[in-house]
């Protein structure tokens, strides 16, 4: 009777080496952990919001809300994309026509010019969008 040696190509493996599979799983886990915070549109711009106001108690669907951000330099950001004032107005009108329950949240940096913040209010009022609210950081508890 002939015994099988390790050098014989007909020898079957009794174990599956899972080390490469674990390596792949850990790499994918690291990629997801790094990219997940980048997918949150509410944290797309680092703004210093003014302090004040009350917590929002509106019951709105997440799809009904459009957030307009104004950075200190006066740049408008809608949906994570820089837009001009004209393009901002077009997008808000288009969204309002598709969804009459549209609510616009305005996140203006505390160093942004008033004219840039009020321009967004003006766009909404002129086009019949009545649910407009400014966003602020909550008042610190004492």
CA distances for 113 relative to 6, 8, 42, 58, angstroms: 77, 79, 21, 27
Sequential DSSP letters for 85-98:
HHHHHHHHHHHHHH
Going by their DSSP bridges, the two strands 76-78 and 103-108 should be labelled as unpaired
Mean pLDDT in the chain? 80
Say what the pLDDT of residue 137 is: 72
pLDDT value for 12:
61
Interval 110-129: pLDDT, tens: 888 889 889 999 999 999 98
Burial 90-119 (b: 16+ CB within 10 A, else e): ebbbebbeeeeebbbbbbbbeebeeebbeb
Lowest mean pLDDT among 5-14, 24-33, 65-74, 114-123: 5-14
Residue 2, pLDDT above cutoff 60: no
pLDDT at site 13 = 61
Q: What is the mean pLDDT of residues 45-70?
A: 72
**CB contact at 8 A, 52 and 134:** no
Q: How confident is the model at residue 97 (pLDDT cuts 50, 70, 90)?
A: very high
Output the pLDDT for position 36: 76
**Regarding the domain delimited by 43-50+61-134, which CATH topology (the fold level of the hierarchy) does it fall under?**
Nucleotidyltransferase; domain 5 (3.30.420)
For the chain, the structural domain boundaries read: 43-50+61-134
pLDDT higher than threshold 60 for residue 23 = yes
């Amino acid at each position: 009777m002939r015994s099988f040696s390790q050098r014989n190509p007909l020898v079957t493996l009794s174990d599956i080496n899972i080390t490469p599979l674990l390596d792949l799983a850990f790499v994918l886990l690291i990629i997801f952990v790094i990219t997940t915070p980048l997918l949150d549109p509410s944290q797309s711009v680092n703004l210093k919001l003014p302090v004040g106001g009350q917590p929002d108690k509106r019951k709105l669907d997440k799809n009904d809300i459009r957030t307009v951000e104004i950075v200190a330099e006066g740049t408008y950001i809608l949906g994570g994309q820089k837009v001009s004032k004209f393009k901002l107005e077009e997008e808000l009108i288009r969204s309002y026509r598709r969804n009459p329950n549209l609510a616009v949240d305005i996140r203006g940096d505390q160093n942004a010019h008033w004219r840039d913040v009020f321009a967004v209010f003006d766009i909404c009022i002129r086009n019949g969008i009545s649910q407009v609210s400014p966003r602020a950081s909550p008042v610190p508890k004492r």
